[in-house]
Amino acid sequence: MIDPGTEDQYLKRRVTTGCYDVDISNANDIWRSETVLFFYLPTLAAQVAFMLLSTRFLYYILKPLNQPRLVSEILMGILISPELFGSSALSEVLTPLKSILTTETISYVGLIYTVFLAGLDMNIDTILRGRKKATSIAIAGVLIPMLCGGIIYALALKMYKGPPEYWANYDTPKAYMFWTLILSVTGFPMVSHILADLKLLYTGLGRVTLTTAMISDFYNWVMFAMLVPFAINGGSAIYAVVSTIVYVLFCFVVIRPYLVEIIVRKTNQNEWNNNELLIVVMGAYASAAVTDLLGTHPVVGALVYGIMIPRGKFTHLLIEKSEDFGVVYLAPLFFGSCGIRLRAIYVIKTQGLGLVLFILLLSILPKILSTVIATQFYGMPVLDGVSIGLLMNTKGILPILMLNSAWDKQILSVESFSILTIAVLVMTMMVPLIINAIYKPRKLYKQNKLKTLQNLKAEAELRILACVHNPRQATGMINILEACHSTKLPPLRVFALQLVELTGHTASLFVSHANQHNQQQSGGEQALTKAQQDLESITNIFQTYAAINENSKVETIAAASSYSTIHEDIYNLSQEKQANLILLPYHKQSNIEGILETANTAFQEINRNVMRDAPCTVGIFVDRGLASLFKVNLRVVMVFIGGPDDREALAVAWRMSKHQGVQLSVVRILMFGEAAEIDVISHVENHGLLSVVVDSEKQRELDDEYVSAFRLQAVSNEDSIKYSEKEVRSRDDIPEVLHEVDQIGYDLYILGEGGGRNCLILTELMKWTDCPELGVIGDIVASNNFGSSSSLLIIQQYGFGGMVFENGNTTQKPNEVVPSNIEDGPVFVEVEWHQ
């Protein structure tokens, strides 16, 4: 039997009353409140400062766990909840009772702008023309959780502790509708950020998930606009909903064409100033006011206005100028107001931790089950279905908005509000942690055979991942691809990857454009950003190459990520595409006088990061005008000293030699005397003296065997291939031999980076290199002081590569295990790394 006092406590909880004094200054018919300068303004400034610092602090603590900003904002709201923060003296200063209404009002300024950005993130073409698979998964991921959500809420009402009379107040269709809508929500911006942080954005799973999340998020907003008014106002909401539909149609049919024309014209002419941008932003608040007057939520108008804005350069400019104001400074106030309502500790004490965890588990499962079922119809692995389901559980700002509305209208109980708020937090927090543990592309490809060109079968398809930053690099890369392609060889598969440095909301905007670059654009997408223009140009360059070479297949991809971690995107894409060779552009480019100048030092760090742990062979292309030689005879020289990188470079040159327009010369440098001394000191600690000597002899045997096979099969049968040998007896002979070779005037050098040589003089010369990623020989030839006008292709073989770049210019190779028999294919053990 329930204690009457407890029952009365439950019933009284439905209404919360707060009283405070207001000192009216200069009372008149219009102004009937306190002077804002003495209380409200200082309090607001303190609240913004505290919430901003708290959110930033929590965000940077959780950043190593790949947590989105939403998690830190919700945690900040929990931090200032009355149960944790309310009992302290600081609460009276930061969250006094009479400031709550003012804070919530101003927080809606940030909320409306945040939803406006959510509208900018959505690509209406992707939603309307989405592939059947993504659309089906999205629909299943919305409808099935809604059906299950009703069952879960009914079960929760049965299991809640308390008087039946109290729970009868919340056993209503309105409560069921809010509960089911909240469980069906997927936050597209959060999903895109998590995928980017986990380096899954450009994998097959990432592309399906991204499109599915965008479609699902759009459906969620439509349901919020159409159904929530009925949940709040009942049948009379039909007038508000119909009026809103008419307003949306008016916006897209009448207003949008003129808006697009003005924005595109002014953007192309670079006529925007800060005042005009402010007017555009204020349009979101004007649209929000219209939908509020019509009877739906103000954020619906902001969302519609955001979708209307044309994508491209203007969108990037608008976000860059105004994002901090709305998202960084004001949006946290909204989450703070949500935290004030939270009673998590009270609910756990009264209902029990077991019940709360049970409801949380039930709330997580519907999304996973729905996506697993939907993906099975398309033959996707169960692991992919589970991963997509977990990612679809990621929530955004919409469920928090629904929860606040349900609380204000007393539709959901304290228990339901608190449990759902915790569920939103837990779902969003767990997604990156679980996905990072169960779905790692590197683990899926770890057991593949050694992917080297030297061991690539003659009938096998060569798959190249060509990475570029801009169209100029793409133009130079084309001739390398052309040289690798021949009618005598199997088809060439090229994956052209544009590397873009983007952060924040602009990342999802660029990804949205990248996914649609091969479709016809609407009239509002003419003014593109620099990255989008480059993507269009790069796509055209590689499509032209594919059209000329019918035996080649080209796929253009764009990767938008931080330069410090973009090498992980390259790893994942090369593994998913099963690439044999990654081509990277050199960080310097040739000027009009033929001198190499640094284009971007970040490019060099990217190249080094890729070479450290690349999942296949890597080539760095130093372009000195090779693009101008397209479709003409190409004179190529391969300088062979020895080691696995040189053997791989010879394999590349051998393949190029089968092209009818390539003339290949192989120059083998033979080391004698001082030059033949083995580098014992650098390796003896790890291998032992005897092992170093034996490995060096084994490498020499493998060099002789592979060169002999090349001379027998290629040089003897092809007039376009020449072979010669040069002797080197000291370090001074190396530059002389290279100058002698360069005087012939080759168009392209193909060089091994130099791993596995164990040569003392080369190890000493490496300490003086400016760009150790090119190796000793590559650094000498690429130097402006050397005076060469030839382009270079530096090759690092997979399995023996993985340079460790230390302070300065010294480099070190990982310990290596030599293949026992080149005829049977290489056998390797785990590579051991040393800093």
Structural domains of the chain, with CATH: 47-438 (1.20.1530.20), 453-513+530-587+599-618 (3.40.50.620), 633-802 (3.40.50.620)
More confident residue, 34 or 491: 491
Residues near 147 by beta carbon (within 8 Å), at least 6 away in sequence: 180
Between CA 183 and CA 160 the distance in angstroms is 19
Between CA 572 and CA 575 the distance in angstroms is 5
Average pLDDT over residues 322-336: 77
Q: Which two tokens stand for residue 265?
A: 């014209």
Between CA 343 and CA 421 the distance in angstroms is 10
Res 6: pLDDT:
47
Type of residue found at 704: D
Type of residue found at 158: K
Between CA 564 and CA 587 the distance in angstroms is 15
Query: Which of 181-190, 264-273, 472-481 is predicted most confidently?
Result: 181-190
Average pLDDT over residues 132-148: 91
Residue the block writes with tokens 């092209």: 659
Q: What is the pLDDT of residues 244-288, one digit of tens each?
A: 999 999 999 999 888 888 888 888 777 788 888 888 889 999 999
Res 325: pLDDT:
75
Average pLDDT over residues 354-379: 91
Point out the least confidently predicted range of 33-47, 87-101, 284-298, 424-438: 87-101
Res 693: pLDDT:
58
Average pLDDT over residues 229-252: 88
Could you tell me if 778 and 823 are in contact, meaning their C-beta atoms sit under 8 angstroms apart? Answer: no
Residues near 327 by beta carbon (within 8 Å), at least 6 away in sequence: 110, 113, 114, 117
Residue 385: CA count within 13 A, CB half-sphere: 22
Could you tell me if 111 and 295 are in contact, meaning their C-beta atoms sit under 8 angstroms apart? Answer: no
How many residues are listed for the chain in this entry? 835
Work out the number of other CB atoms within 10 angstroms of the CB of residue 39: 17
Could you tell me if 517 and 539 are in contact, meaning their C-beta atoms sit under 8 angstroms apart? Answer: yes
Given pLDDT bands bounded at 50, 70 and 90, which one contains residue 819?
Answer: very low
Query: What value does the CA radius of gyration of the chain take, rounded to a whole number of Å?
Result: 32
Between CA 707 and CA 723 the distance in angstroms is 10
The pLDDT mean for the chain works out to: 79
Point out the least confidently predicted range of 370-384, 432-446, 492-506: 432-446
Between CA 643 and CA 702 the distance in angstroms is 8
Average pLDDT over residues 90-94: 68
The phi, psi pair for 773, rounded to 5°, reads -65, -15
Residue the block writes with tokens 């084309």: 478
Helix 274-294, helix 237-250: angle, nearest 10: 150
Could you tell me if 697 and 524 are in contact, meaning their C-beta atoms sit under 8 angstroms apart? Answer: no
Between CA 693 and CA 681 the distance in angstroms is 12
Point out the least confidently predicted range of 119-123, 134-138, 378-382, 677-681: 677-681
Q: Would you say residue 522 has pLDDT above 60?
A: no
Between CA 365 and CA 128 the distance in angstroms is 28
Between CA 584 and CA 597 the distance in angstroms is 17
Point out the least confidently predicted range of 53-67, 78-92, 555-569, 671-685: 671-685
Average pLDDT over residues 740-756: 87
Average pLDDT over residues 154-164: 87
Average pLDDT over residues 457-478: 86
Could you tell me if 762 and 754 are in contact, meaning their C-beta atoms sit under 8 angstroms apart? Answer: yes
Type of residue found at 472: R
Q: Would you say residue 29 has pLDDT above 90?
A: no
DSSP, res 552 = E
Q: Would you say residue 448 has pLDDT above 50?
A: no
Could you tell me if 670 and 642 are in contact, meaning their C-beta atoms sit under 8 angstroms apart? Answer: no
Between CA 354 and CA 366 the distance in angstroms is 20
Between CA 386 and CA 806 the distance in angstroms is 41
Could you tell me if 670 and 728 are in contact, meaning their C-beta atoms sit under 8 angstroms apart? Answer: yes
How buried is 711 (Cβ within 10 angstroms: 0-12 exposed, 13-18 middle, 19+ buried)?
middle
Q: Would you say residue 710 has pLDDT above 90?
A: no
Between CA 22 and CA 307 the distance in angstroms is 42
Alpha helices in 377-469 (DSSP H): 382-392, 397-408, 414-438, 441-444
Q: Would you say residue 591 has pLDDT above 60?
A: yes
More confident residue, 440 or 316: 316
Between CA 719 and CA 725 the distance in angstroms is 18
Residue 435: CA count within 13 A, CB half-sphere: 33
Between CA 772 and CA 754 the distance in angstroms is 10
Between CA 512 and CA 506 the distance in angstroms is 10
Could you tell me if 677 and 735 are in contact, meaning their C-beta atoms sit under 8 angstroms apart? Answer: no
By C-alpha distance, which of 739, 465, 413 is closest to 584?
Answer: 465
